[in-house]
Structure 1
Amino acid sequence: MESSNNNGSLEQTLQDGNLYRQVNAFIVAHLRDNNLNQAASAVASATMTPSNVEAPPNKLLELVAKGLAVEKDEMLRGVSSSPLFDSGAAIPAGYGSIPEPRVVAVDFRQYNVARCARFSPDGRFLATGSADTSIKLFEVIKIKQMMLPDAKDGPVRPVPVNDIDFHPQNTVMITGAKDHTIKFFDFSKAVAKRAFRVIQDTHNVRSVAFHPSGDFVLAGTDHPIAHLYDVNTFQCYLSAKIQDIGVDGSINQVRYSSTGGMYVTASKDGAIRIWDGVTASCVRSILGAHGTTEAISANFTKDQR
């Protein structure tokens, strides 16, 4: 058995060595064919590759292009076949609970102004978005125990994050940011630096909220009307015409009621508006809710009263 394992290891080592030599040969040939002779000589010398090695023209570019195409295809297939959002499934009895993630890499330090923070529905996780372009995901129990591990993850956003929300059933969180994007992150993975889904809005996304079913995302932006997205098709729905309800101002925050039957918007024009979660029509407007100042936030109580 040991001899078999050793033979397998040796064969793998030889295969790896052949692969490295082939890659080095393609690099040297590519540099030489593009008249980068000094660079080709340096690589050939460092890797002990013959400087006159033969390779099909543009072979390196062809392989890189194929690899990128496969990577893109896998990513697209992963989105279309993702079991994350099952629109046909009923909300489970344990609604609001989140499956146990395998590993969560966290850093409890915040290096700049924290612009937003949100607890997961079961209270086990806390996510923050910072002006330093980073998203932090904390396990509440670890915060309580003062377990502060060293973080190795770098920034995951190029712009400040405005708001965060958690999917009601899955290990997914979304962010809204100044780059007009809504991004989806799977925090069950050990490192989730990249979003696995991105919705490109037309405005600065100030606030985001999942519908309790998890099938829709509501976005409050610099546009006066909330944008409703289907997470499976990315189709956007606008709830009403601006002139019909006299809206004049960006939306600072959007939040759903516990059943999803209503949602509320807090706007820079000072108004708090309550909307029907099915028809997306405005059912009540509270103008000048805080006098002459803008309405920063609004939320429902659990009993929706």
Structure 2
Amino acid sequence: MKPDIKDREYMYRLIIGQLFYDGHQQIAVNLANTLGCSAPPPPPSDKLFRLVTIAKQFVEDPDYKAEENTMPMQFETSSAGLDLQYDADVAATSPEPSQYETIYLTVHKAPCRAAAFNSDGSLIATGSADCSIKIMDVERILAREKEHREMNENGPDAHHPVIRTLYDHVDVRRDFGRFSDKILDFQDVNTVIFHPRDAILISGSNDKTVKLFDFSKTAVKRAMKTLSEVYPVRALSCHPGGEFLLVATDHPTVRLYNIETAQAYASANPDDQHRESVTDVHYSENARLYVTASKDGDVKVWDGVSSRCVETFKRAHDGSSICSAKFTKNGKYILTSGMDSIVKLWELSTNRCLIVYTGAGATGAQDYPTSASFNQNEDFVLFPDEKSGSMCSWEARNADRKRLLALGHTSACRTFVHSPSMPAFMTGSDDHRARFWYRKPTTNDN
């Protein structure tokens, strides 16, 4: 291809990317089809506008020197990740999620409803409707795979992946019949997270409590601290510094707890709050902001210091209940999923949806909330499709849909979390099983 033809194709891709970025999706698609641009289409990008701005300054003032960042973002960022402002055309370097395999599974006595990795991906926890919580060592899981051991947890093993099993979410009822006795009613563990700095696991349950477990002590199975709520707990997010905890319940108001004192705080402005119960909450990595999702269909962004709402994406999924909302690593974008089986990427600086990831839910509307997530370096977006029992994935930058991965569960996948450090994720299902998925290294890997 001649240099001028290649340059023109690059220019056209910049134009199409700018049109996508500015919200003119249909015009961008029509232009791409007319020009016959190679698939996939360019991702949304503000690069053309920034180049024009620099060129305009240079024409008007030949002595002008462009600064490193001519378009500062409205929100400060902390670490590298998906950045459509600078790396929109970067090719994915991580393996496609359809290449993952199940290398380990653990079984609960009831549906598995929660899962979480710790900050460096070395530990994984699962929570179940049987009120139990399991903590597993990822290195031991990988070691078992290298030794070609069975993927289940049966049989003696000095290096068993499950290093802790915790119990404390249990409600005691009393039967006042003729033969009065106590009945133990096990409550669903809906959410689990690791403390970012200490060996503490935090869980939330239908029993309306938040439990903090010190898992550094081998013999301890009960919580060292309990925070009592009025409604079932749905989601938790810990401040990166470890001092504060956000708690979302079946109520429109999110509470901020001081973990040391158990003192609770909430925004004093009623207009800040959601209109229905909150389904998810998540701190940005620099803790300057946090985001909440709700059954009212709105996504709200909050100031991490004052706990005041600073932005609301109304009817983010056309009125459908929001299942999850997560910041990217650099804090520039928010990834949301809804009960409409659609995943969206929102840009904070412009307060609008940039990319829509579609194709999940084609075989029927989902019945249960499901979270969307990035892989470890934010090359791909992953979302479990409830009806097909498969993992859907897309390239994060251009929404190009990849091959499906059959998850192997016999019931709906109710929880999913990707490792922050490696090509691995955990799924939990109503079939009582939690599956650890991993992309094994191959000889073709660099």
Q: Same fold (TM over 0.5)?
A: yes
- Which residue of structure 2 aligns with residue 191 of structure 1? 219
- Which structure has more strand as a fraction of its residues? 2
- 1:56 paired residue number: none
1:157 aligned residue = 169
In structure 1, what is the equivalent of residue 116 of structure 2?
118
**Whose Rg is larger?**
1
Could you tell me how far apart the structure 2 residues matched to 1:214 and 1:271 are? 27
Q: Normalized per residue, which structure has more helix?
A: 1
Aligned with 1:279 (options 306, 318, 340): 306
Q: CA deviation at 1:189?
A: 1.5
Partner of 1:145: 143
Partners of 2:130 and 2:245 in 1: CA distance: 25
1:299 aligns with 2:326: yes
Q: 1:227-248 CA deviation, whole Å, 9 max, x = no partner?
A: 0001111111012433x23621
* 1:270 and 2:268 matched: no
CA contact under 8 A between 2:166 and 2:222: conserved in structure 1?
no
1:155 Cα deviation from its structure 2 partner: 4.3
- Residue 235 of structure 2 corresponds to residue 207 of structure 1: yes
Q: Which amino acid letter does the alignment assign opposite residue 267 of structure 1?
A: S
- Cα distance 1:154–1:116, how it changes in 2: closer, same or farther (>3 A)? closer
Whether the 8 Å contact between 2:134 and 2:166 is mirrored in structure 1 is no
CA deviation profile, 1:210-240 (whole Å, cap 9, x unmatched): 1111111100111211100011111110124
CA shift at 1:145, angstroms? 2.9
SS at match of 1:296: strand
Percent identity of paired positions between Structure 1 and Structure 2: 39
Say if 2:252 is the partner of 1:224.
yes
Offset from partner CA, 1:238-275 (integer Å, 9 cap, x none): 12433x23621111111100011110001011111110
Change in CA separation of 1:155 and 1:230 when aligned onto 2, cut-off 3 Å: closer
1:164-179 pair list within 5 angstroms: 164-179=192-207
- Distance in 1 (CA, whole Å) between partners of 2:107 and 2:251 is 33
Aligned residue identity for 2:200:
V
Write out per-residue CA displacement over residues 168-206 of structure 1, whole angstroms, 9 at most, x where no aligned residue: 111111001111111100111213310001111222111
Matched, 1:288 2:315: yes
Aligned CA distance change for structure 1 residues 266 and 153 (closer, same or farther; 3 Å): closer
Superposed CA offset, 1:1-44 (max 9, x none) = xxxxxxxxxxxxxxxxxxxxxxxxxxxxxxxxxxxxxxxxxxxx
Letter matched to residue 286 of structure 2? T
Structure 1 distance, partners of 2:330, 2:200, is: 26
Structure 2 SS opposite 1:298: strand
The answer to whether the 8 Å contact 1:108/1:138 transfers is: no
- Once the two structures are overlaid, the 10-residue window that deviates more, 214-223 or 136-145, is 136-145
Measure, in 1, the Cα distance between the counterparts of 2:196 and 2:169.
Answer: 23
Between the aligned partners of 1:191 and 1:291, the Cα distance in structure 2 is 49
Partner amino acid, structure 2, of 1:276:
D
Counterpart AA for 1:256: Y
Secondary structure at 2:141's aligned position in 1? helix
Aligned-residue RMSD, C-alpha: 2.0
Structure 1: state its 5+ residue gaps. Answer: 1-106
How many residue pairs were aligned?
198
1:119 and 1:130 map into 2 onto residues whose CA distance is 16
Counting only pairs closer than 5 Å after superposition, residues 92-107 of structure 1 correspond to structure 2 as: none
Q: Distance in 1 between matches of 2:322 and 2:217?
A: 37
SS at match of 1:202: coil
Task: Say if 2:169 and 2:207, in contact at 8 Å, map to a contact too.
Answer: no
Q: Which has the higher contact order (CA 8 A, sep 6+)?
A: 2
> Secondary structure of 2:126's partner?
strand
Give the secondary-structure state (helix, strand or coil) at the position aligned to 1:203.
coil
Report the counterpart of residue 180 of structure 1 in structure 2: 208
The change in CA–CA distance for 1:246 and 1:133 in structure 2 (over 3 A counts) is closer
Q: Which residue of 1 aligns with 2:262?
A: 234
Q: Deviations over 1:56-102 (max 9, x none)?
A: xxxxxxxxxxxxxxxxxxxxxxxxxxxxxxxxxxxxxxxxxxxxxxx
8 Å CA contact 1:135, 1:156 repeated in 2: no
- What SS does the corresponding residue of 1:220 show, helix, strand or coil? strand
1:6-85 counterparts in 2 under 5 A?
none
Q: Work out the CA distance in 2 between the residues paired with 1:193 and 1:153.
A: 7
**Structure 1 counterpart of 2:43:** none
Report the counterpart of residue 258 of structure 1 in structure 2: 285
- What is the TM-score normalised by the length of structure 2? 0.42
Q: Which secondary structure does the structure 1 equivalent of 2:139 belong to?
A: helix
Distance 1:286 1:166, change over 3 A: same
